[in-house]
Amino acid sequence: MRTLLGMDDADLRELFRLMLVARRLDEEATALQRQGVLPAYAPARGQEAAQVGSAAALDLTRDFAFPTYRELGAAVAMGVDLVAYMATHLNIWHGGLYDASATRLAPFNAVVGGPVTHAVGWAMGAQLDDTGGAALAYFGDGASSQGDVHEAMNFAGVYRLPVVFFCQSNGWAISMPTTEQVAGGSVADRAAGYGIEGVRVDGNDVAAVHEATLAALERARTGGGPAVIEAMTYRMGPHSTSDDPGRYRSAAEESSWAEADPIARAARSLAAEDVSAAEEHAVAVARETAEKLRGLPAPPAAELFTFVYREPTTALLEQQRAWKESQDA
């Protein structure tokens, strides 16, 4: 979905529908992890507006997005097959089952700051090939302190690459508050040091996020250079399903941010019947996705040794031989 700056009611209804699908599927995924279906999961509750609003601004005929392990909302907005996407969380394939090239969404990246360097590399290729496309790189405020991120921004600034650095500043780098790990208090302000555009946006306002991202992508595609967007939002749940946020943040803080819930906020601008229809749709999508996810067959065990290296190493071949012998015993 792409719009001109300024949206009509139909656009807002669609963004809300996508956000609600992301919320209900996120809840379903957390339940699946508690039931032992998923070995681990990183909830995105509270960040739906930042993810959906930004990803909906992409032109999927030429742009490419580079996610972390938490961008469920981006996958929903980009129309990625949700069963294939969620299969990545099963951790039994080499990556997920969706086609990254066709969907324009790169595979999960669990390396902190990793998507940023990949996005800059892709943007360099897009510039050299004159594709007219731009990269959208997702990362968090914690990742913004990684050296790789600084190097990527500097490189992009020097070569004026078509890339948008999208920081979901959710207040916490796991248990470390942003105020204690981001010097100066703003990721967006760092952009000036690299000679690129930097803007802060209300990350819980889906329309504001969409407009800021659309403008940055259009500028990047037309030679205006890279940009940093810092979407101010809040991780309402734990960092992962193995995390207990109650150990490092207060109930009062969580309650205060709950009032800014992007889902509830968007719902207030819609008619009750639109909200009801979106809820019915989201619940159905989440249930169907979970059911199909449970029914996916496990890959052949022999694939454990496939696509690990371009040319199998001696050690890998020895492991494969030992595995085959154990199967024949």
Asked if pLDDT for residue 6 goes beyond 80, the answer is no
Exposed, middle or buried: residue 131 (CB in 10 Å: 0-12, 13-18, 19+)? Answer: middle
Bridge partners for 64 per DSSP: 135
Give the three-state DSSP class for 2.
coil
Residue 329 has pLDDT above 80, yes or no: no
**Helix (H/G/I), strand (E/B), else coil: 108:** coil
Kindly list the domain boundaries of the chain, sorted by start residue.
Answer: 9-298
For residue 67, the model assigns a pLDDT of 97
Name the 3-class secondary structure at 98: coil
User: What is the per-residue pLDDT for 2?
Assistant: 47
239 is catalytic: yes
Residue type at position 127: Q
pLDDT exceeds cutoff 80 at 7: no
The rounded Cα 230 to chain-centroid distance in angstroms is 14
Say what the pLDDT of residue 299 is: 87
Who contacts 284 (Cβ-Cβ below 8 Å, separation ≥6)? none
Distance (Å) of CA 163 to CA 56, 178, 192, 203: 16, 24, 15, 19
Burial of 241 (0-12, 13-18, 19+ CB in 10 A): middle
Q: Which of 248, 287, 294, 321 is catalytic?
A: 248
E strand segments, 78-213? 135-140, 163-169, 172-173, 176-177, 197-202
Per annotation, catalytic residue among 17, 89, 118, 235: 235
Give the pLDDT of residue 61.
Answer: 97
Q: What angle do CA 94, 141, 265 make, to 5 degrees?
A: 95
Beta bridge partners of 163: 135
Active site residue 235: yes
Confidence of residue 19 (pLDDT cuts 50, 70, 90): very high
* Number of Cβ atoms within 10 Å of the Cβ of 195: 14
Phi/psi at 250 (nearest 5 deg)? -85, 160
The pLDDT of residue 106 is above 80? yes
Q: Which two tokens stand for residue 151?
A: 């190097």
How high does pLDDT run on average in the chain? 93
3-state secondary structure 201-257: EECCCHHHHHHHHHHHHHHHHCCCCCEEEEEECCCCCCCCCCCCHHHCCCHHHHHHH
Which position has the token pair 């996610």? 67
Q: What is the mean pLDDT of residues 78-82?
A: 97
Residue 98: predicted pLDDT: 94
- Find out whether 62 and 133 touch, Cβ atoms under 8 Å: yes
Say which of 13, 17, 210, 239 is annotated catalytic: 239
- Cα 241 from Cα 253, distance rounded (Å): 20
Pick the CATH number of 9-298 from 3.40.50.150, 3.20.20.70, 2.60.40.10, 3.40.50.970: 3.40.50.970
Contact 126, 135 (CB under 8 A): yes
Q: What is the pLDDT of residue 185?
A: 82
